[in-house]
Amino acid sequence: MREIIIGGRSITVSHVKTETTEYGDIQRYRIDVSGSDAVTHLSSLRSSPNIDARVMASVIDTELLLGYEGSAESGLLRDPGIRAWRDQHRPLIEQALDRLRDEMKDLPPEPVSDVERLLLRAFDINANDEVRGA
């Protein structure tokens, strides 16, 4: 479990389970925000279940900042209180995301599965290059 506090709310990420598939291990995480009953989940194709800066950055970016289509119905942003908090504290959330991205620079590279390597080749990206914004 890992927690980050932003603007008076804690965002807690817990590892739920690992699913082994033909494509590699899929890690399942649960995301809770204090002061809300809204819960969501994140899945990530990665071998390690550790909740490191990569996982936390992904949670903040996808679940709070991007506001992807459908998040208002099924994600954390379905809670109007979280949406209002996000809008009010967006600069603090973005600063926390920047700190996590800085922390990510010190992490060892993630192992790349054969399937990921094929996808990277399909998009003409070297597997050793850092993929920004992913």
132 in any annotated domain? no
pTM of the model: 0.81
- pLDDT values of the chain reduced to their tens digit, one per residue, 134 residues: 999 999 999 999 999 999 998 878 999 999 999 999 989 999 998 989 999 999 999 999 888 877 656 566 668 888 999 989 999 999 999 999 999 999 999 998 887 777 777 777 888 776 555 444 44
Residue 80 in any domain: the answer is yes
What is the domain extent for residue 82? 2-122
Dist CA 32 CA 52 (whole Å)? 16
Q: Could you tell me if residue 129 is inside a domain?
A: no
- d(CA 82, CA 86) in angstroms, rounded, equals 6
- Residue 131 resides in a domain: no
Helix (H) or strand (E) holding 87: helix 80-88
- Whether 81 maps to a domain, the answer reads yes
Number of structural domains found in the chain: 1
CB 30 within 8 A of CB 9: no
Structure token pair of residue 87? 């809008």
Is 133 part of any domain? Answer: no
Cβ(2)–Cβ(56) under 8 Å? yes
